[in-house]
């Protein structure tokens, strides 16, 4: 019995030693296939060895790849005004370093969008306003000097021209077909960190009374827009241009999720006018306007509760020549009804300068119809029609 136990213990010792050697030198011999441990009715499918080239269904990769090459960075340099102290040798001796710092060019950074193979670039007016030198940096690393084709301060849009070959361009989308909740991408160069793509949705449409431009009809989005994004692209899920990023609402200088973009259809019309005529033609009648309030209507016994209140009339202007007076309430321009001052501005600016238009006016208890000839809106006019 003792001999049998000795043989058993030696055999176990040898087996353990062999198992140790195999586990150390050939561990794959002892590997177990988990699939073989499952019931035969369970089928396991492994992922392919290489990921497919196409983007996942939820990815916005394709939209970014289509639009990003056409979005550029813009550096606009402004030479400072020459200080009269520069001619004083004693002043230069004591304050030379400070003067040299003050005389350094001021560089403003923004973004733009290449919209045609001929090299036309859309951006914001405030990005290039007053610039003496403008450099455009493409996403592919190329750079070129740009000249200003035209600017429109009232819409805060500008058109630049660069001379390079094989330029990438963006496709104009249908900004009028946007709906609240649609996914959009904002592409630009925030804080000069390099081209950046952010995603969000359309938060609101037709935003006005923001106090940014004379003519406001903004797309509001929560896609992150920061300083440097101005003039960049707002694109849809197909990578098509639906807006030009213009401004943000912020208390800190950074994005708070409230950004504004000029709709692409408006930007396209302004661009065409600037390229063709060098300016945008808008109607103007020379009045200051406000809104009719219930208190005002009650005080003067007006039979209307809506309309554009004329608070001032420019002497010698189209409205003055037609007999319009302060206190009149405009309720109609041509066939378009007017319920507030913004609608009057939009209706008048839509009339071609030189054309005649009929205005429906309520003067206290009297209903009038005035005919006047619309003039060309002066550049940098105040926010009145």
User: pLDDT tens per residue, the chain (385 residues)?
Assistant: 666 666 767 776 767 676 666 666 666 565 555 444 444 444 434 445 555 555 565 689 999 999 999 999 999 887 665 555 555 565 555 455 555 555 555 567 899 999 999 999 999 999 999 888 999 999 999 999 999 999 999 899 999 999 999 999 999 999 989 999 999 999 999 988 889 999 999 999 988 777 677 778 899 999 999 888 999 999 999 999 999 999 887 666 677 788 999 999 999 999 999 999 888 888 999 999 988 888 888 888 888 888 999 999 999 999 999 999 999 999 999 888 998 888 888 889 888 899 999 999 999 889 999 999 999 888 754 444 4
Are 257 and 316 contained in the same domain? no
- Same domain, residue pair 117 and 194: no
Residue 44 falls within a domain, yes or no? no
Among 126, 161, 196, the domain boundary falls at 161
Q: 319: closest CA among 270, 284, 369?
A: 284
341 is catalytic: no
CATH number for the domain that contains residue 339: 2.30.42.10
Residue 182 belongs to domain spanning: 175-277
Task: Tell which phi-psi region holds residue 296, choosing left (phi > 0), alpha (psi between -120 and 50) or beta.
Answer: alpha
Catalytic residue flag (residue 179): no
Residue 10 is assigned to a structural domain of this protein: no
Same domain, 270 and 298: no
- Do residues 140 and 99 share a domain? yes
* Shared domain check, 269 and 182: yes
Q: Which of 243, 259, 277 is the last residue of a domain?
A: 277
In a domain, 49, yes or no: no
Annotated active-site residue in 111, 155, 175, 230: 230
Question: Is 192 inside a domain boundary?
Answer: yes
288 and 363 co-located in one domain: yes
Is 337 inside any structural domain? yes
Start-to-end CA span in the chain (Å): 118
Which domain-ending residue is among 249, 277, 305?
277
Clarify whether 156 is annotated catalytic.
Answer: yes
Q: Which residue has the tokens 């692209």?
A: 233
Both 79 and 115 in one domain: the answer is yes
Q: Residue with structure tokens 């429906």?
A: 360
Number of domains in the chain: 3
pTM: 0.71
Q: Residue 322 in contact with residue 372, Cβ under 8 Å? A: yes
Q: Which of 152, 154, 156, 236 is catalytic?
A: 156
Q: Which of 73, 111, 125, 126 is catalytic?
A: 126
Q: Per the domain annotation, does 109 fall within a domain?
A: yes
How distant is the alpha carbon of residue 98 from its chain centre?
37
CATH number of the domain that residue 210 is part of: 2.40.10.10
Inside any domain, residue 30: no
Q: Is residue 2 part of a domain?
A: no
Same domain, 136 and 72: yes
């Amino acid at each position: 019995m003792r001999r049998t136990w000795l043989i058993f213990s030696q055999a176990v010792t040898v087996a353990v030693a062999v198992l140790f050697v195999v586990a150390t030198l050939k561990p794959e011999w002892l590997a177990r296939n988990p699939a073989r441990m499952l019931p035969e009715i369970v089928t396991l499918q492994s992922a392919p060895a290489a990921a497919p080239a196409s983007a996942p269904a939820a990815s916005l990769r394709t939209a970014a790849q289509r639009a990003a090459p056409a979005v550029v960075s813009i550096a606009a340099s402004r030479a400072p005004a020459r200080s009269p102290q520069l001619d004083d040798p004693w002043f230069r001796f004591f304050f030379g370093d400070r003067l040299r710092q003050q005389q350094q060019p001021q560089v403003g950074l923004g973004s733009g969008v290449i919209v045609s193979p001929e090299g036309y670039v859309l951006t914001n007016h405030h990005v290039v306003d007053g610039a003496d030198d403008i450099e455009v940096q493409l996403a592919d690393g190329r750079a070129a000097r740009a000249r200003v084709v035209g600017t429109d301060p009232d819409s805060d849009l500008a058109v630049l021209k660069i001379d390079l070959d094989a330029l990438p361009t963006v496709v104009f989308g249908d900004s009028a077909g946007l709906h609240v909740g649609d996914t959009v991408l904002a592409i630009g160069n925030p804080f000069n960190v390099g081209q950046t793509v952010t995603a969000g949705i359309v938060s609101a449409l037709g935003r006005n009374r923001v106090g940014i431009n004379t003519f406001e009809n903004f797309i509001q989005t929560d896609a992150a827009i920061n300083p440097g994004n101005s003039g960049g692209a707002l694109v849809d899920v197909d990578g098509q241009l639906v807006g030009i990023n213009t401004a943000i609402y912020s208390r800190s200088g950074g994005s708070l999720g409230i950004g504004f973009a000029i709709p692409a259809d408006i930007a396209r019309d302004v661009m065409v006018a600037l390229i063709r005529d060098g300016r945008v033609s808008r109607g103007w009648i020379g009045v200051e306007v406000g809104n009719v309030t219930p208190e005002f209507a009650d005080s003067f016994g007006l039979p209307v509760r809506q309309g554009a209140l004329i608070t001032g009339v420019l002497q010698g202007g189209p409205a003055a020549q037609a007999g319009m007076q302060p206190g009149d309430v405009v309720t109609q321009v041509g066939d378009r009804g007017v319920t507030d001052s913004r609608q009057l501005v939009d209706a008048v600016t839509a009339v071609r300068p030189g054309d005649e238009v009929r205005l429906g006016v309520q003067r206290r208890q009297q209903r009038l119809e005035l005919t006047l000839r619309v003039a060309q809106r002066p550049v940098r006019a105040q926010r009145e029609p």
